Amino acid sequence: MPEYSIGIDLGGTNLRAAAIDRSGHMLEKISGATGFAEGKDAVLTDIVGAISKLRDKYGADGLAGIGVGVPGFIRMKEGIITGSNNLPYLEHVPIRDEISGRLGARVILENDANAAALGESWLGAGRDVDDLVLLTLGTGIGGGIIANGRILRGAVGMAGEFGHITAVPGGNPCGCGNQGCLEKHASATAVTAMARLMQLGEDLSAKDVFDLAKRDDVVGEKARAIWRVVGENLGGAIAALINTFNFPLYLLSGGVLPAWEYFEPHMTRVARERSFTFRATLNETRIAKATLGNEAGLYGAAYLPWIEK
């Protein structure tokens, strides 16, 4: 009788692994740096090592499976990663089968933002609904879609790329080849860039710009203008998502969340203006903060073995 699963969150700079039981109780978490610079074999060895350590401690008999969240697009059928900026050497490697083969256990690969959305749906802000969208607002903007309690992946795992929705036609150029992508106009990186353009400082974090927004002077006014722009751009994108999905919940997570009080009113206003679905369902539709922070992906990865056959 399986009692727990193991979730892995492979970030840009570190590796975290956790043993989590069926009810969502975290038994143990391991985190640390990994040999990213040393390439594929070093990273695979670190992943397998972390899993083995937890499995040895909690027992192979009770292990339901292993979920691995990674940045990049996942081709589920083949168990490979494509399009990963952070881990280029893992692209097109049969990473699922390599990990699975070394451990003799079932492994499920998943995109990290999809895993975070699943985590919020299992144990976080989305516990009470079956359908939600999560937008992760960090260096870029990513996200995940949970429909009927399951991750909506699209044909080849590329669904939920909200960061590359056009927010500003003809806007800032983006690495994806488009111009005016949402992440160029509403991510934490975009906040830093706007602060620089407005001569508030060279490398301010989103948190710094949040702190400046509290000031009762011209600097504060400029900082609040940045959050207004961020809010309006997010509001436009969320309006489109509400019209598309008619889901009850749209969650935001990541580095811009501390400034919620400054961007949320603008976001909600624009979402109302632009989405008739939102206006018609104000009591049934919520835009809210995610609650699991950067643990969401770890929980979501660990949940995969319970729901994926």
Q: Least CB distance from residue 53 to Zn ion, whole Å?
A: 39
Query: Is residue 300 left, alpha or beta, with left meaning phi > 0 and alpha meaning psi from -120 to 50?
Result: alpha
Q: Which is nearer to Zn ion, 158 or 219 (CB)?
A: 158
Q: How far is the CB of 195 from Zn ion (least distance, A)?
A: 21
Which CB, 178 or 246, lies closer to Zn ion?
A: 178
Cα gap 111→302, rounded to integer Å: 13
CB nearer to Zn ion: give 174 or 209: 174
> Do residues 271 and 239 lie in contact, with contact meaning Cβ atoms separated by under 8 Å?
yes
Q: Specify the residue, 178 or 281, whose C-beta has the smaller distance to Zn ion.
A: 178
Tokens of residue 154, six digits: 């699209």
**In this complex, which beta carbon is closest to Zn ion, that of residue 193 or of residue 288?**
193
By three-state DSSP, how is residue 144 classified?
A: strand
Task: Name which of 156 and 176 has its Cβ closer to Zn ion.
Answer: 176
Provide φ and ψ at 168, rounded to 5°. -130, 100
Residue 217, C-beta contacts closer than 8 angstroms, at least 6 positions apart: none
* Residues near Zn ion, by CB under 5 A: 164, 174, 176, 178, 181
- Per DSSP, helices labelled H in the chain are 40-58, 95-103, 112-123, 182-186, 188-197, 206-213, 218-245, 260-274, 276-280, 296-307
Name the minimum Å distance from CB 171 to Zn ion. Answer: 10
CB of residue 190 to Zn ion, shortest distance in Å:
12
Q: How far is the CB of 243 from Zn ion (least distance, A)?
A: 21
* DSSP codes, 66-98: EEEEESSEEETTTTEEES-SS-GGGBTS-HHHH
To Zn ion, the closest distance from the beta carbon of 179 in angstroms equals 8
